[in-house]
Amino acid sequence: MAAPVSVVEDAEDYSFLPLIHDIIKCMDKDNQDVHQELNKLRTRIQDTREQIVAMPGIDLSADVQQQKLHTLREQVRTKNQLLQKTSEKRQTEQARKVNRVRRMETKWT
């Protein structure tokens, strides 16, 4: 199994123009390294393809992903509100019960 390909943060590193430029320069100078440069470009393209396949979260378009994120945030907010409301009600009920018991105790004493 291939090791996970690390995602380079700087998107500038993904430009292929410097490599192509090197190849053209080698061709201009009739340099024998042109084949090596061509191999470099091929390998780079292949590596980039593998990286793209392994990148997380890009199976959706950016817009759709944003919509899903919004929906999830809404869900969490709603559920939090519901739970908070219930716990508040519980606390109020508990306080009311305690007050009632205290009142009865005072009445009896």
**Which residues form the interface with other proteins (CB under 8 A)?**
7, 9, 11-12, 14-17, 20, 23-24, 27, 38, 41, 45, 48-49, 52-53, 55-66, 68-69, 72-73, 75-76, 79-80, 82-83, 86
| Residue 3 or 109 with smaller CB distance to other proteins | 3
Compute the distance between CA of residue 98 and CA of residue 92 in angstroms, rounded to an integer: 10
CB of 109 to other proteins, least distance (A): 28
Q: 43 vs 99, which CB is nearer to other proteins? A: 43
Residue 12 tokens read as 């500038």
Q: Is the dihedral of CA 9, 11, 14, 18 positive or negative?
A: negative
The CA distance from 57 to 65, in Å, is: 8
